[in-house]
Amino acid sequence: MCGRFERHSTLSEFSKVVGGLVAEGTDPLPPSYNIAPSQAALIVRHETGAHRVDPFTWGLVPGWMKETGKYAPLMRALRLSTRNRCFAMHSDTNDV
């Protein structure tokens, strides 16, 4: 279950906590207790003086990947990092 998180509240409940939240349209995503890599989630970002909510796909997409829907390798075991092309650029420079 690596890389998963949860969203408890609806967008309208969240906007009561975060002042000045701009969310165009209705809440596109319901609360979820199991948001996994490659699934849609909501982010809050600061844009032109206001906090804005937008949907995005949760996960890490390597720059060389041409098809983004194939998989989302957000978390991988360290033992696989030297054999996996997703993490090849980091295998020589980052020792754990």
Residue 96 within a domain: no
Q: Which domain holds residue 70?
A: 5-90
Reduce the DSSP state of residue 33 to 3 states and report it. Answer: strand
The answer to whether residue 11 sits within a structural domain is yes
| Predicted TM-score (pTM) of this structure | 0.57
Is residue 95 a part of any domain in this protein? Answer: no
Mean pLDDT computed over 56-63: 76
Rounded CA-CA distance 61/78 in Å is 18
Within-domain flag for 57: yes
86 is a domain residue = yes
Assigned domain for 60 exists: yes
**Domain contains 47:** yes
For 65-86, what is each residue's pLDDT tens digit?
A: 777 665 555 554 555 556 666 6
For residues 13 and 19, what is the distance between their CA atoms, to the nearest angstrom?
A: 11
Quote the number of domains for the chain. Answer: 1
Residue tagged 């754990």 (tokens): 96
The amino acid at residue 81 is S
pLDDT for residue 23 is more than 70: yes
